[in-house]
Amino acid sequence: MIPVILSGGSGTRLWPLSRGVYPKQFLPLVSAKTMVQETVLRLDGIDKLQAPIAICNEEHRFMMAEQLWEIDAKPEAIILEPAGRNTAPAVALAALSEKNPDDILLVLPADHVIDNIPAFQQAVVKAGELAEQDYLVTFGIVPTAAETGYGYIKRSAEKISVAFKVAEFVEKPDADVAQAYVNSGEYYWNSGMFAFKASRYLQELEKFSPEMLAACRLSYSGAQTDVDFVRLNKDAFMQCPSDSIDYAVMEKTDKAVVIPLDADWSDVGSWSALWEVREKDDFGNALTGDVIALDTQNSFIHSGNKLVAAIGVQNMIIIETDDAVMIAPKDRVQDVKKIVARLKSEQRAEADLHRKVYRPWGHYDSVDNGERHKTKRIVVKPGAKLSVQKHHHRAEHWVVVKGTALVSRGEKTMLLSENESTYIPLGVIHSLENPGVIPLEIIEVQSGSYLGEDDIVRYADKYDRT
């Protein structure tokens, strides 16, 4: 069995913590581990489990690789999607990558919370047994409430081992319909988790969506491998239709079965859902960071950088980050995505970027911005190097505050220690490298007529960025 970790979501409903360039699956929202790490770690102990295949946006490739490395999970491959095309093509790519077509793919979204791991693992083992018999297995969550934010799976009366044949998949219902579903005992929440043979999935996709499979095959056959990364043929992949596994295959096949899963599951699709799974104080508050809460109840308050003081607050979500504050009643958190849509329409960076921006070499934090100046705190990992580059519109001053910097400036190369500095004139080719064994920290002061991140001409880059 090969875990397939799907990491294509943007997590807009958890803004401002989750953003386009740093979505929720890469954040430690429930524990000290990130959600993608928890997804992999909860598989520990299942027999005959092979190395995972991760599928993510090309922009997230280094975060995915680093987070898997941190938990000693070496992936079989990290497949990079040039653009999102939903889950059916993503899983087709994983199936096409398998040398043994009868291997079982265990398809897992990277942003779920599952507290009852023994129950989950038992269901995975049973799913593997059914997949061996050529069934396409999905996991239906035993509902604990009449949720309107989930799709539902209706089971048939026909039982196969611990599973039921699928009668139908249904869209997100209104409150009355959801309550009727729960009362009937015949419906489960649609978890988006699956298990099936790679070959069986491709056969069904060929039958029901041949155009999609043809595009995936063409894209994968033209892929290039770079260490763990599989870079698809972009032109071919962009021709691929976008569809979910449910619509493309599971609703149409006669081999779909659902295993009921009661394992304290949540897809953490909103701030209220995250409040539900977090530890709370005696007043029902989930508090993170520097928070003082007086006469406050049943609220989620997160402080990223500043002291947040709440007085007389009830049933509220308050999220503070270094560049945004979001406040909403718990029953309005589904509208957070409307804020993100407005930010995108106004082309504001806060929709996709944090003030702290992660790069394969480390990260930078824009601590001050003016009309003709910008100040950054830059941290470079040991052995890492920024690209060899130049700028058309800005000059830069660098001051080393920790570690050692190997600086290339024009024809000159120099080694700078703490409290030493250098100046990079406009238009001069330069690079910055950390040759040491501890992180390098520098303060960079930019000045010029234009200070955008796109004012970079790269001449060489060890991370293959254009």
pLDDT, residue 239, reads: 93
The whole-number average pLDDT for the span 297-326 is: 96
Kindly state whether residue 465 falls inside one of the protein's structural domains. Answer: no
pLDDT, residue 149, reads: 85
pLDDT, residue 52, reads: 96
Domain check: are 299 and 383 in the same one? no
Q: Is the predicted pLDDT of residue 227 greater than 80, yes or no?
A: no
Domain check: are 253 and 296 in the same one? no
Backbone angles phi, psi at 456, to 5 degrees: -135, 125
Kindly state whether residue 344 falls inside one of the protein's structural domains. Answer: no
pTM, two decimal places = 0.89
Last residue of a domain, one of 246, 266, 286: 266
Q: What is the CATH number of the domain that holds 236?
A: 3.90.550.10
What does each C-alpha distance from 60 to 83, 112, 175, 464 come to in angstroms?
Answer: 12, 18, 36, 14
For the stretch 318-331, pLDDT in tens is 999 999 999 999 99
Greater pLDDT, 410 or 358:
410
Cβ within 8 Å of residue 374, ≥6 positions away: 366, 368, 445, 446, 451
In angstroms and rounded to an integer, the radius of gyration of the C-alpha atoms of the chain is 24
Calpha distance 31→278 (Å, rounded): 9
For the stretch 89-101, pLDDT in tens is 999 999 999 889 9
Calpha distance 196→256 (Å, rounded): 10
Domain check: are 362 and 242 in the same one? no
Domain check: are 132 and 171 in the same one? yes
Domain check: are 295 and 379 in the same one? no
pLDDT, residue 9, reads: 78
Query: What tokens appear for 5 in the block?
Result: 């970790």
Query: What tokens appear for 435 in the block?
Result: 């040759």
Last residue of a domain, one of 242, 266, 290: 266
pLDDT, residue 99, reads: 87
For the stretch 180-223, pLDDT in tens is 999 999 999 999 999 999 999 999 999 999 999 999 999 999 99
- Give the β-pairing of 152-160 and 163-170: antiparallel
The whole-number average pLDDT for the span 386-391 is: 96
Cβ within 8 Å of residue 122, ≥6 positions away: none
Judged on CB neighbours under 10 Å (0-12, 13-18, 19+), 269 is buried
Domain check: are 258 and 278 in the same one? no
Domain check: are 186 and 299 in the same one? no
Structural domain of residue 140, as residue ranges?
A: 2-266
